[in-house]
Amino acid sequence: MNLATLPASADASVACDFVSADEIRTRFSQAMSLLYRTEVPQYGTLVDLVAEVNAAALQQEPTLLAGPAEVARLDVERHGAIRLGTPAELHTMRRIFAVMGMWPVSYYDLSVAGVPVHSTAFRPLGEAALAANPFRVFTSLLRLELIADPALRTLAEATLARRQIFTPDALALTSCCEAAGGLSSTQADAFVREVLHTFRWHHSATVTQAEYVRLSAAHRLLADVVCFPGPHINHLTPRTLDIDAAQAEMLRRGLPAKEVIEGPPRRAVPMLLRQTSFKALNEPVRFAQGSGEGAHTARFGEIEQRGIALTRRGRALYDQLLQRARSGGAGTLEQVFSEFPDELDALRRGGLGFFHYSLRAALPAAALARVAPDADLETLVADGLVQATPITYEDFLPVSAAGIFQSNLAGDAAVRYDAQAAQAEFERALGAPVHDEFALYEAEQAASIAQLRQQLQQAAT
């Protein structure tokens, strides 16, 4: 296939024909959803189930979401997860996600929970991009240095070195976008089609059955990453407004759901992230060199519920309470977290959560003109002139991520590694620093306050 490319010196008239990164991301997430629905039929059941639960939640409480735009976002919202084998794969994946307007946010060291990977989440940044499509991919890199057996480590390295997980056209279109500053609609469609190949499931392994058994015995995730031609997407996650109701409905419909929802307990004001899943499928695999057939367990269905993003102070309190609950003897998770304020105004006044500040709709101009542009924010909220809307948490929780991984990698819960976080090494492989999630939320809140001050200044003059 010979793909037409645009020169790096493309003029403004050509650039106007580029489709936006938001549009490319939307096309890709839609294509990914169709692919996964075809490959894992239970995913389609899960999507339909979540849509019904969300509709019921909104009928019962119409103010759960802040308007039609938030409802539209909810309907398309997904996150996926992939596991890469080499630094080169991670570096190229960063370039590919950049074409879709997705950037690495936060560093997650899952080795402390017995999973030999470290990770980041590629996602859009900024209110407009998130509103257009908040598609995220939790992306992990295998840490071969944590594999104790030198011979097994050598086998894994050699196997991974032989594979190429990106098609030539996917690489060419990525380079084209980088050189020209964008892709045309036709090129964007070709890009989506080519990149989708990286995420497909492969029934044929790249190792013999004996090699697969050796790798799997060391860690099931090691076998999942190393033994196949590509990093098949291992789950795709719709967002629900009531994960407890969705969990109950999964069980009612016969889906093999997890017993425990990962993350904080059920609250009046949801915070951070709660996740659950149905257990991974056993899928038939043909091993290399005619060495036999078997089954591999990796891909599963997951749902999530997102709440308010916590400030550094709020996250410190969350971590403290979670540690107390996990240490035992302090009561149930719900009992321990009763110490965490569960009312929006208390979270805001306590500096525990991030909020977007805006003028209330339909305020009389005369009333605004009497307000000093530098008036105290608390007073403006108390007087009903300004509304504070919680900012949605867009990221992930390390404990939840590790719990989801382990629950779908049978038999590895007891594995532990004497390892330290290796963010600098991860970022070298990535070819870029990861964004600090707290800085992003702080910037969004500050920008809303700055816009509010500007509106009050305009009203005063």
What is the DSSP annotation of 394-415? Answer: -S--HHHHHHHHHHTSTT-TT-
Name the band, by pLDDT with cuts 50, 70 and 90, for residue 193.
very high
Percent of the chain beyond pLDDT 70? 91
Average pLDDT, the chain: 88
The confidence score (pLDDT) of residue 246 equals 93
Q: Cα–Cα distance between 82 and 103 in angstroms, integer?
A: 15
Please compute Rg for the chain using Cα positions: 24
Please name which of 212, 325, 206, 215 lies closest in space to residue 265, comparing C-alpha atoms: 325
What are 359's two structure tokens? 């003028």
Q: Is the pTM of this model over 0.75?
A: yes
CB atoms within 10 A of CB 300: 24
Partner residues linked to 388 by β-bridges: 357
15: left (phi over 0), alpha (psi -120 to 50) or beta: alpha
The confidence score (pLDDT) of residue 195 equals 98
Tell me the average pLDDT across 75-80.
89
* 234 pLDDT higher than 80: yes
Choose the most confident range, by mean pLDDT, from 90-94, 130-134, 296-300: 90-94
Helices (H), ranges, 288-349: 312-327, 333-336, 344-349
Tell me the average pLDDT across 71-76.
84
Sequence-separated (6 or more) residues with CB below 8 Å from residue 451: 358
Name the band, by pLDDT with cuts 50, 70 and 90, for residue 157.
very high
- For 12-306+394-430, CATH gives 3.10.180.80
Tell me the average pLDDT across 383-411.
72
Q: Cα–Cα distance between 145 and 299 in angstroms, integer?
A: 25
The confidence score (pLDDT) of residue 121 equals 97
The confidence score (pLDDT) of residue 205 equals 94
* 26 pLDDT higher than 50: yes
Helix/strand/coil for 305:
strand
Name the band, by pLDDT with cuts 50, 70 and 90, for residue 420.
low
Tell me the average pLDDT across 80-105.
97
Give the pLDDT confidence of 281-296 residue by residue, as tens digits: 788 999 999 999 999 9
How far are the Cα atoms of 34, 222, 314, 334, 355 from residue 445, in angstroms, in the given order? Answer: 35, 41, 15, 29, 6
Residue spans of beta strands (DSSP E) within 239-379: 273-278, 282-286, 293-297, 301-306, 355-359
The confidence score (pLDDT) of residue 14 equals 44
The confidence score (pLDDT) of residue 39 equals 87
Give the pLDDT confidence of 317-336 residue by residue, as tens digits: 999 998 888 887 777 889 99
The confidence score (pLDDT) of residue 446 equals 97
Q: Cα–Cα distance between 151 and 156 in angstroms, integer?
A: 9
Tell me the average pLDDT across 142-171.
95
Q: Cα–Cα distance between 321 and 319 in angstroms, integer?
A: 6
* 101 pLDDT higher than 80: yes
The confidence score (pLDDT) of residue 416 equals 53
The confidence score (pLDDT) of residue 360 equals 83
Does the CA dihedral 341-437-319-84 come out positive or negative? positive
Please check whether residue 133 is in contact with residue 25, taking contact to mean a CB–CB distance below 8 angstroms.
Answer: yes
What are 348's two structure tokens? 């805001």
Instruction: Specify the residue for token string 């003029």.
Output: 11
Q: Cα–Cα distance between 172 and 177 in angstroms, integer?
A: 9
Tell me the average pLDDT across 3-24.
61
Q: Cα–Cα distance between 111 and 401 in angstroms, integer?
A: 11
Choose the most confident range, by mean pLDDT, from 45-54, 250-259, 417-426: 45-54
* 10 pLDDT higher than 70: no
More confident residue, 348 or 413: 348
Please check whether residue 163 is in contact with residue 206, taking contact to mean a CB–CB distance below 8 angstroms.
Answer: yes
CB atoms within 10 A of CB 111: 22
Bridge-based pairing of strands 386-390 and 355-359 is: antiparallel
* 429 pLDDT higher than 90: yes
Q: How far apart are the first and last CA of the chain?
A: 61
Please check whether residue 103 is in contact with residue 125, taking contact to mean a CB–CB distance below 8 angstroms.
Answer: yes
Helices (H), ranges, 360-461: 365-369, 377-382, 398-407, 423-430, 437-460
* 275 pLDDT higher than 70: yes
Helix/strand/coil for 100:
coil
More confident residue, 1 or 92: 92
144-153, 224-233, 249-258: range with lowest mean pLDDT: 249-258
What are 283's two structure tokens? 């899928």
Tell me the average pLDDT across 99-108.
97
The confidence score (pLDDT) of residue 251 equals 87
Tell me the average pLDDT across 346-368.
87
CB atoms within 10 A of CB 369: 12
Partner residues linked to 136 by β-bridges: 79
* 8 pLDDT higher than 60: no
* 82 pLDDT higher than 70: yes
* 412 pLDDT higher than 50: no
Instruction: Specify the residue for token string 């091993």.
Output: 287
Name the band, by pLDDT with cuts 50, 70 and 90, for residue 7.
very low
Helix/strand/coil for 428:
helix
Bridge-based pairing of strands 117-123 and 273-278 is: unpaired
Helix (H) / strand (E) element for 235: namely strand 235-238
